[in-house]
Each structure stands twice: as structure tokens, then as C-alpha cells.
Amino acid sequence: MSRRIVVGLSAIALSVTAIPAQADGASLTFPTSTFPLGNSAAPVKNQRSVVPGVDLFSLKQGKSTEGWTVTVLMPNGHEDGGLTTAQTRAAEVQAAGFTPAVQKVTQPAAADAPAVDRYLVRIGLWTFAERAKADKVVKELKEFDIRAKTDYLADDGLQTTGPWTMNVLMVDPKVFKGSFRTSVGASVAKRETTSSMARRAGAIAGVNGGFFNIHTPKALQGDPMGISVVGGKLLSEAVPGRSGVVITGRKIQITELKTTITATPADGAKTEVKGINRAAGTDELVLYTEEFGTKTAADGGTEIVVDAQGKIIKVREGGGIVSRGTYVLHGTGVMADWLLEHALETSTMKLDTRVIDLRTKRTVPLTPETYIMGGGVGLVRNGQVRITAQADGQASFNMMLRRHPRTMAGVTKSGGLILVTVDGRNPGVTVGASMVEAAQLMRWLGAKQAINLDGGGSSAMVVGHKVINRPSDGSERTVGDALFITP
């Protein structure tokens, strides 16, 4: 087994530089200021018109100068940890005959979360052409039951020269005559590719949507992790306070949302419906709509089938289909008992469904032109970088600081739409973006409000029903929902 002499890895804190925003104008134009990341050189840019008022920009900027290191994983499987954990891990690595370095990095502050010092344990520095040497160390560490990974230094979210590969769709509201919509595909429960959804929607162009639930049974993994409204119908509940994209015909905005659903049987005994088109938890009442796309869970719960007029047409055990023109209320535990007591067959059930804009405190009208999609993290608010990582459940080292492929959506002061994909996880070709960099990019492009959507292998931009970016999985991933520009 070889031994490594390590070049010291110094403590580095990420500094956030103020980036000039695009000047407000009557129409939507590409920024003339320098690229906000790396060495600020002008990017190589190609532009083409998709339809009148919708322009596609393909950008390349920067060059690869970083190499490789080996990052030792912490006992919990993460690459980062507290100082004591990192020091203990480094001692284990040293006892195995290697020379580790403990590197301090600072996870930047978000609007709702403080900066946090995190620590990495690393071994060695190699040039880009020497990856095999790093891979060999990872293999040797495995012999001592020490898990590690070969790490490309440009993935860190610290200083880098890139390169970056981006695609930007800009929709000028003064020229474009179409509208916007979201889609969950053929059903809520089943995942589908963005390009497949685009064909079904007859879309001009679009991008993948928000996060979906990979921690639920496989048959339900299309379930959006947050709000979804399609054609005025609420298909997934909001996580209160998380950001979302709200569309009403040609108007689009980004705001924070919550949802409420109240079930009222004929005897007036109101109760709250906790979820929509997802697996029910303990003592929960969950609504399944005809868009659900699979059977409800045979979990010992009780459910009622309600027709379009609000009449309860059947009381049954869980595990049935949701027929067209009906919905199902499924209760577990005490809520199963509640249904048996209050929801009698041939009686009635009413649902009061509301979506509330938490900025204005007003109810969003659920009309056939209303489409809403939940995102991952708010990035820009009122023209300023404002990352709501804590509220959106993403205040972690991996999500805030590490670079990944990204998909973002933004709205300009004039009401224009900006859709962006940043390709990543392709060392030497494109590095992706950290959450801070994603916010800086959206502000540079002119977004007054912006949101981070699902990224990583989910990032996909579709134009003419074809994927035009390079998904990091090597092929297009199936996702839960998508956002489209339509005729």
C-alpha cells in the first residue's frame, strides 16, 4: 500500500460578492454586464428565437483549472461534519497510514439561517489528469473500512474558474402572445420525463419542476414535495411558507404559499384534510383526486368515495381505485374512526379548498387558468439575493455550498419569465452552481423574483419537445412535474 504526502488544505470561507443586476427596461433583454461568476469575462453566447417573444440563449464561460482530492466521509456518510467529528475521523485515517488534512469551510448564511462552519477531512491534491491516483487512495482506504470518494475541487462551491454551461429561456411579455402552465404528467403518482410532458401539453419549451418524493413507495414517487395546482385543481398540498410559482394565464409570480382543506360532512363536524395524493401518515385524513393514477393504500384505513355533486356513494376499506368524476377521502387511525362516525353512505361531504399567498395574505382564486408549482428554495426577492434555505428545507452544506446542476425560474419587473438550466457534475466541462451562485445568476439575468427548482439529474430544458441541455445522469430523468411555455 502506498503512502501519501499531503499538501496542506487551508481553511476557506466563501465570500459573496455584490453582483449588479440588469437594469430595468420596457422589454426583456440579455444582460450586458459581465458574467457574475469566476473571472467575470464575457461568456460565449449563442442566441436564437424559439417563437416571437421567446429567445433561447446558450452560454459557455470559464475554463477548468482545478484538480482532484480525496474526501473522507464522516460516520453518517456525509462529506462534512463538526470539528470534533472531523478530527476524530482524521485520526482514524492517520492511524491507517495516510496523512489527512482537516479543512474548514463556511456554509454561507441564508436569509433565514446563519453561516455555519463545517469541516472536511481530505487526502492529497492531484492535477486534473491524475484522477487515477486519487481513485487508488479511495480503494486503499476501503481496505481499512474507511469510506471516501474522489472529489473534483470545482464541485466545492469555493472559488473556481469554471467552466459553466447554461441555457436561458427569456419570455418577453410585450411580444409573446401565449401563456404558461404546469403539468404533473399522466398522473400525480407516476413520474414522467419533462419532454414527454411537453409533448402532451403541446408546449413550446419548458423545464423540469420542483422536488418529488423519493422517500415514499415507488408507485407514489411522482408526488410533488409541495404545492401543485393544475388547471385550478389542487393536486398536492403546500409545505406552509415554502416558495412557489403562481400562474394565472399570462401572469406569473413567485411567492410563499400555504393551503388548507376542510372536510364538512352532513352533520357539520368539520375536520382538516392533511394531505393530497400522497401516502397517509398515522391518524391522518388524506384526499385522493381522480388525477392520482393508482390505487389508494391497503393500510387498514377507511375511505369514502364522493361523486362530483358531493354525495358519498361508497364507504370501503383502503385499497381501491379513484374513478373519474369522484374523489376519495382516506383516513387512518382516529381519522378512520371519524369517517365511520360522520361520513355515512348516501349522505354528503363538502370540501373547502384554499391556497393563500403569504405575502399578500389573500386567497389565490382557483380558476381553470390557475397553475401553481412548488420549488426548492427562494433565491431572489424584490431584486435582492434572498435565499430561504431553512424555510425550504435546504439549509445544508450539500445544498447550499456544493455545486450541482440547477434549474431556476425568475420573473422580471415587467412580468417576463426567465427559465435557466446550469449543467454540472461534468468535471472539466461544466461545474454547476451553488445555491448562492444560482441566486447571483438569476439577479444578473434580471429576475426581480426567483426560485430554485429541482436540480441534479432532474435538470432538463426542453425546446420543441427535445432536451437541449446535458442531464448529469447521462439521459433524461423522470420527474414529478414541469413548467411550460405554451402557445
pLDDT digits (tens, 9 = 90+) for 220-233: 999 999 999 999 99
pLDDT of residue 27: 59
pLDDT of residue 43: 87
Task: Indicate the pLDDT class of residue 17, thresholds 50, 70 and 90.
Answer: very low
* Residue 220: C-alpha distances to residues 288, 297, 479 (Å): 12, 10, 12
> Mean pLDDT across the stretch 293-309?
97
pLDDT of residue 30: 92
pLDDT of residue 7: 36
pLDDT of residue 11: 39
* Residue 308: C-alpha distances to residues 190, 219, 289, 350 (Å): 24, 26, 11, 10
Q: Ranked by mean pLDDT, which of 24-28, 36-40, 124-128 comes out on top?
A: 124-128
> Mean pLDDT across the stretch 240-269?
96
Residue 298 has pLDDT above 90, yes or no: yes
What is the C-alpha to C-alpha distance for residues 150 and 288, in angstroms, rounded to an integer? 45
What is the C-alpha to C-alpha distance for residues 378 and 6, in angstroms, rounded to an integer? 39
Over residues 137-180, the pLDDT tens digits come to 999 999 999 999 999 999 998 999 999 999 999 999 999 999 99
Task: Indicate the pLDDT class of residue 197, thresholds 50, 70 and 90.
Answer: very high
Residue 20 has pLDDT above 90, yes or no: no
Say what percent of the chain tops pLDDT 70. Answer: 94
Calculate ∠ Cα 228-232-235, nearest 5°.
Answer: 35
Task: Indicate the pLDDT class of residue 12, thresholds 50, 70 and 90.
Answer: very low
Phi, psi dihedrals of residue 250, rounded to the nearest 5°: -95, -5
pLDDT of residue 33: 87
Range scoring the smallest mean pLDDT among 17-26, 83-92, 382-391: 17-26
Residue 303 has pLDDT above 90, yes or no: yes
pLDDT of residue 28: 78
pLDDT of residue 478: 97
> Mean pLDDT across the stretch 323-332?
98
Range scoring the smallest mean pLDDT among 4-13, 79-88, 201-210: 4-13
Residue 59 has pLDDT above 80, yes or no: yes
Task: Indicate the pLDDT class of residue 42, thresholds 50, 70 and 90.
Answer: confident
**Peptide bond before 163: cis, by omega within 30 degrees of 0?**
yes
pLDDT of residue 16: 39
Report the mean per-residue pLDDT for the chain: 93
Residue 15 has pLDDT above 70, yes or no: no
> Mean pLDDT across the stretch 436-457?
97
pLDDT of residue 36: 94
Residue 244 has pLDDT above 80, yes or no: yes
What is the C-alpha to C-alpha distance for residues 208 and 227, in angstroms, rounded to an integer? 15
> Mean pLDDT across the stretch 395-415?
95
Residue 372 has pLDDT above 50, yes or no: yes
User: What are all long-range contacts of 112-119, with beta carbons under 8 Å and residues at least 24 apart?
Assistant: 112/388, 112/389, 112/390, 112/391, 112/395, 113/389, 113/390, 113/395, 116/397, 117/83, 118/80, 118/81, 118/82, 118/397, 118/401, 119/80, 119/81, 119/82, 119/83, 119/85, 119/86, 119/87
